Amino acid sequence: MIGYTGRPMRAAHYQLLATAQRAASDGASAVAARRGRLHLTHGTVETPAFMPVGTAGTVKSLSPVDLQDAGAQMVLANTYHLWVRPGHEIIQRLGGLHRFMDWEGPILTDSGGYQVFSLKDMRKVSEQGVRFRSPLDGEWRMLTPEVAVEIQEALGVDVAMAFDECIEWPADRDRVIASTERTTRWLRRCLEARQKSDRTALFGIVQGGFHQDLRIAHAQELAGMDLDGYAIGGLSVGEPREELFTTVAYTAPHLPADKVRYLMGVGYPHDLVDGVLAGVDLFDCVLPTRSARFGSAFTSAGRITIKHGRYRDDPRPLDESCACYTCARFSRAYLRHLFTSNEILAPRLLTLHNVTFYQRLMGRLRAAVEEGPDALLRLRSLAVGWMRPLGQDGPPTDSEP
């Protein structure tokens, strides 16, 4: 256990509270899990933690009160989208992103790198940065490491992500080497551009493609820079799931033990468990909100696709073990009626449930780390079961999500 003696001078301080470790053996997964606290300007986050994604300053369909009720501690917003609309200067004049969206807890912003690199034919990459044409307003813009830091500090967020180069998968080794080296140069420019390092932390992003030696070398290089936190990036870009978590497992041990570790853009419930087993502390993903908008709910008995006819007259809640507002008040039949009638309340209620499900899972993961490796591996078995469609053979038997 690491003691904590007061508010740190830097904008982020990670406090390690407990670990659960076990080497892989007899087909059992290795365990290198951590339980901690991340102290930030706008509050403390118990880790492992999952950040709901509020790209444009809102988690789709949910209010800040909904998020609090669901148990969310920290949310993610996107630099690129807020820069284009309504503009970071407007948000700054109105008191910053926290006041703008009425969220009192910590906020992390993605640097916008993933979004501009996904534009493909509408962008041009150079050493200076990325020139791109925004599909939102048709304007040509130049996003550089300096601009990314300027925007995020103007928003007043707790954690800013360094601007990195996101590349396609698969990519050949020479391409990965050149991209990773550029990411490091851009990180140094981000560090030099900071004006509010006492209030907005800066996390670096480990790249290196799916080449183990390149990943480890980049992790070690960034670890030597004493950053506020570290993200594992460049994953969940189409690669097989096994390759993703193999990469996380050999990368995480080379990051500083006294700094928070963030796995970007992952994932399903069993992905979160595997990330925690590998030593990751922080996660984000659009899955719980996007799935809800398509009528899919995660439950402790398996996944529900609410439009199915079997729920037409089903009086039960989505999840009989869940106490969220949706499950406490509405039946599957009513939710199906809303969804098939294209009522806006349907995605809202499903989103509220899914976000609550994810937050309850993270609470259970925190408790399991404190209990030990066996508890974590039992939870992993359950999480795999939660991915099955409801009613399929072999449903999970534990009623707690």
User: Looking at the annotation, which residues are catalytic?
Assistant: 110, 284
Q: How far apart are CA 28 and CA 60, in angstroms?
A: 38
Q: How far apart are CA 273 and CA 376, in angstroms?
A: 8
Residue 356's Cβ-count burial label (10 Å; 0-12, 13-18, 19+) is buried
Output DSSP code: residue 76: E
Sort residue 126 into left (φ over 0), alpha (ψ -120 to 50) or beta. Answer: beta
**227-242 burial, b if ≥16 CB within 10 A, otherwise e?**
bbbbbbbbbbbebeee
- What's at 298, amino acid-wise? F
Q: How far apart are CA 334 and CA 338, in angstroms?
A: 6
Q: How far apart are CA 246 and CA 209, in angstroms?
A: 12
∠ CA 63-399-289, nearest 5°, is: 30
Are 18 and 32 in contact, with CB atoms under 8 Å apart? no
Q: How far apart are CA 151 and CA 110, in angstroms?
A: 11
Output DSSP code: residue 371: H
Q: How far apart are CA 16 and CA 379, in angstroms?
A: 22
First and final CA of the chain: distance in angstroms?
A: 28
Q: How far apart are CA 335 and CA 3, in angstroms?
A: 47
